[in-house]
Amino acid sequence: MYDPRMRKLADVLVGHSTKLKKGETVYIEAFDIPTEMVEVLVDRVYEAGAIPLVSLKNAKVLRKIFLGCDEDVMRTYGDLEMEAMKKADAYMGLRGSFNITEHSDVPSGKMDHYKKFWFGPVHIEYRVPKTKWVVLRWPTPSMAQQAKMSTEAFEQFYFDTCTMDYTRMSRAMDPLVKLMERTDKVRIVSPGTDLTFSIKDIPVIKCDGELNIPDGEVFTAPVKDSVNGVIQYNTETLYEGKVFSDVRLEFKDGKIVNATANNTEALNRILDTDEGARFVGEFAIGVNPYVTRPMLDTLFDEKIAGSIHFTPGNSYDLAPNGNSSKVHWDIVLIQTEEWGGGELYFDDVLVRKNGLFVLDELKGLDPGNLM
């Protein structure tokens, strides 16, 4: 007997996130997750009249592939993955992790091959703009440890978060979308942070369970050359198997001109991946009421109620600002009182203070009104 929570999650992925239709093909890429969940998902896909293409992957095996690869090897893998992706109308990425730092000892040059010949072309250049897609994590003891919770408690938190009423959240997002569409200047103020930029004429997108699970953010992008000031992030962030903390970025006319962290050398190496990595491709506001503190997992952390994330690298085709990069690094700043507080201004009007919205039309997005 399958866990009924898995069936409920499969219903969200098939019926809400990708809205699979009869005859469509979905590429299911599962990393280190129980085969039970994949089985439940395959059954649900068939019930929708769609076709499942399944790829089971393992982080330890991928590490070996990355360690031994050269450009030709990684290009071959990229070509193979691209063929599978091109057959798909939709994509589901289910990503479990027994060890979040499994790839931390893979040399940066090897990971560059992966970004250039596999992840970049297959996912950023093709999957994101050309398929219906959804990406989610899977609850493992490793994730529970990151969240400082018991395995059982974390699993329940996970399913509560991932299967919340996204339709209700979506309706509550509409006033924020409309306000951001009218906004020119944004200012973010927090301890160590005073940042200004424009979002004028950049599309505003609500993330209400269709692209990520869990979900709960409204995003756009800054006008590429409009960012000025400094941002001091107050959460840890994981990139290419390395944990970064105390990330501080200083901007002038859109470009990161100074970057420091606990590992400043590695941070700047990532930001030097290509020209676009030192510009920002996304600005987003997190609103998921179940996610209240960071757990070193981007898909959860970027949805924290009362947070923003400001993303060096590639912009999405849904909200383009002209910036292109192999990097897309969502780094989170929490502005709740517990995390030091802060203010968010649109055109010099205070919109959110200490993580809570102050405008009546936006208060439906506060945690007490969404749970």
The per-residue pLDDT for range 343-367, each reduced to its tens digit, is 999 999 999 999 999 999 999 999 9
Average pLDDT score over residue span 82-105: 94
The residue out of 147, 162, 177 marking a domain boundary is 162
In whole angstroms, what is the distance from residue 27 CA to residue 341 CA? 42
pTM of the model: 0.80
Question: Does 198 share its domain with 102?
Answer: no
Mean pLDDT of 245-273: 97
Residues 120 and 30 in one domain: yes
In the predicted model, what is the mean pLDDT of residues 304-331?
A: 96
How far apart are the C-alpha atoms of 249 and 283, rounded to whole Å? Answer: 14
**8 A C-beta contact, residue 357 and residue 344:** no
Torsion, CA 28, CA 30, CA 33, CA 35, rounded to 10 = 50
* Residue 338 DSSP code: G
Task: Answer yes or no: do 108 and 181 share one domain.
Answer: no
Distance CA 62, CA 64 (A): 5
Q: Residue 195: give the domain boundaries.
A: 166-370
* 137 and 202 belong to one structural domain: no
Return the pLDDT at 200: 98
In the block, which residue shows the tokens 């609850």?
139
Q: What pLDDT band is residue 303 in, cutting at 50, 70 and 90? A: very high
Transcribe 186-248 into DSSP letters: EEEEETTEEEEEE-TT---EEESSSSEES--EEEE---TT--EEEEE--S-EEETTEEE-S-E
Which of 100, 132, 162 lies at the terminal end of a domain, its last residue? 162
CA 77/CA 80 separation, integer angstroms: 5
Residue 165 contacts by C-beta under 8 Å, 6 or more apart in sequence? none
325 and 176 in a common domain: yes
Q: In whole angstroms, give the CA distance from residue 165 to residue 132.
A: 20
> Do 204 and 334 share a structural domain?
yes
- Name the domain boundary from 100, 133, 162: 162
Whether the per-residue pLDDT at 211 is higher than 90: the answer is no
Residue 155's pLDDT band, with cuts at 50, 70 and 90, is very high
Query: What is the distance between the alpha carbons of residues 294 and 225, in angstroms, rounded to a whole number?
Result: 30
Across residues 273-290, what is the average pLDDT?
A: 97
Same domain membership, residue 329 and residue 227: yes
Mean of all residue pLDDT scores within the chain: 95
| Strands, E assignment, 268-313 | 280-286, 307-312
Question: Would the pLDDT of 117 be above 90?
Answer: yes
Closest CA to 111 of 301, 266, 282: 266
pLDDT at site 167:
87
Report how many domains make up the chain.
Answer: 2
CATH code, domain with 147:
3.40.1830.10
Task: Give the Cα separation of 161 and 275 in Å (integer).
Answer: 37
Is 148 found in the same domain as 188? no
Same structural domain, 95 and 244: no
> Mean pLDDT across the stretch 221-237?
98
Under 8 Å between Cβ of 282 and 315? yes
Q: In terms of domains, do 268 and 144 share one? A: no
Same domain assignment for residues 117 and 182 = no
The pLDDT confidence band at residue 299, using thresholds 50, 70 and 90, is confident
Q: How far apart are CA 52 and CA 347, in angstroms?
A: 47
Q: Give φ, ψ of 354 to 5 degrees.
A: 50, 40
Indicate if the pLDDT at residue 210 is higher than 90: no
pLDDT at 1 over 80: no
Pairwise CA distance, residues 133 & 272, whole Å:
29
Residue 315: predicted pLDDT: 96
Q: Would you say residue 212 has pLDDT above 90?
A: no
Using an 8 Å Cβ cutoff, are 295 and 147 in contact?
yes
Q: Are strands 349-353 and 356-357 parallel, antiparallel or unpaired?
A: antiparallel
Number of DSSP helices (H) and strands (E) in the chain, helices first: 12, 20
Are residues 71 and 216 located together in one domain of the fold? no
Give residue 151's pLDDT: 94
